Structure formats: C-alpha cells, structure tokens
Amino acid sequence: MLPRVCLIIVASLSVVSSMKIREIETAVKTDAVYLMHFMEKEYKEIITDLKFSNNSSCSCVNYTCGCCVDLVIPKISLNETGCLIMSYLPDEYGFQIVFTLNGLVIMSEKISVKNPPPICAPVPYAHELANICIRFYNLDYKEKQFSGCADIEVDLEGVVLKKYDLGCFHIPPSHKSLLYGRNATSTKP
C-alpha cells in the first residue's frame, strides 16, 4: 500500500509543479505584453511625431526617450523606419527597450544600465542572414540623471553593413537637450 501512496504524492507534486511553472510563464508573458501595450499607449504620440519629423529629432518625456530613423540598405532590401523606445527603470537600475521596424516589435528587452552588451535581433525577412543590433555606450548616472548614447548596426552574416548614430540622451531630460545627434555611417562601400 505504501508504494501507491508515494506514487500518488509524486504524481500530484509533478502536476502542481507543472501548473506553477505554467502560471509563472503566463504571468511573465502577461507582464511583458502589458508593458509593451502600456509603452505603446503612453508614447504613441511621441513615436508618431518622430516618424513624421523628417527624421531629424528624437524626444524624451520623463523617464522615456524615443527615436526613429530610416534604415535604408539596398543590399538586403531594407527600407523601413526603425524606432527605439527606452524607458529608464530607476528602481531596477536598468531600462526597458522596445525596437520596432515599421511598427512591428522585433525586440523588447529589459537590461541593466551597467555595461550592457549589444542587443541584437534578426531582420524579420532575412533572419538567417541579417541582424540589427543596438549598442549603448558612455552610460552614466549623476545627480539623479541617467545619460548615455546609442547606435544601431545592421550586419549581414557578421559583417557590419551600416551604422546609425541615434545620439545621446538624458533621462529625465535636462534643459540642455533631449536627445541629439543623428548620422548614418557606412562601414562598407
């Protein structure tokens, strides 16, 4: 009789564990979806303004900065608007980034502000060959303000085709500037 009882307890624990894992996975997915919807809703006007501003400026509001740039690389038939939204999370000493191509979210990550590695995602229609990477640099925290710079690199099979300078940001924005700089430099002719 004892072996059956043990078997039932083990089976019950297994079902409970898998239920808890599913609950946790569902909660994490729900939180990620909520955060993306929240950011999209709260900053939709910023993104719209950026898309129609002749690609010449970026914008910051409170703890969030957004910047859009035209990504044009004929070699891989890329001609889309890329938008990066960064939200500083002071309690976590990190930030949430969302990167879109023509409105399609291709990257959503929460990362540490302490020396983050480049964050990369495949170009949707060329995912086995081309990647888009966002690189943050010169990150600093002084006087209750987080600042740094970002650029985007598009590579084909590991070879950088083009680099776009998104500029530097101050969160929350200072009176000096919101987000500045915008240049695209090609690393290959």
- The whole-chain average pLDDT of the chain stands at 72
Note whether residue 33 is domain-resident: no
Q: Whole-model pTM?
A: 0.64
Report how far residue 42's alpha carbon sits from residue 98's, in angstroms, rounded to the nearest whole number: 13
Backbone angles phi and psi of 103, in degrees to 5: 85, -10
Lowest-confidence range among 111-120, 138-147, 152-161, 166-175?
A: 166-175
How confident is the model at residue 117, as a pLDDT?
A: 92
How confident is the model at residue 148, as a pLDDT?
A: 86
Note whether residue 97 is domain-resident: yes
Note whether residue 32 is domain-resident: no
Note whether residue 24 is domain-resident: no
Higher pLDDT, 135 or 16: 135
Note whether residue 15 is domain-resident: no
Q: In this model, does residue 140 exceed pLDDT 70?
A: yes
Note whether residue 9 is domain-resident: no
**146 three-state secondary structure:** strand
**In this structure, is the dihedral angle defined by the CA atoms of residues 77, 106, 104 and 184, taken in order, positive or negative?**
negative
For the chain, what is the radius of gyration of the CA atoms? 21
Domain interval for residue 179: 38-186
Note whether residue 103 is domain-resident: yes
Q: What is the token pair recorded at 53?
A: 């501003």
Lowest-confidence range among 80-94, 146-160, 162-176?
A: 162-176
Q: How many domains does the chain have?
A: 1
Q: In this model, does residue 115 exceed pLDDT 90?
A: no
Q: What angle do CA 81, 82, 85 make, to 5 degrees?
A: 135
pLDDT (mean) for 136-149: 85
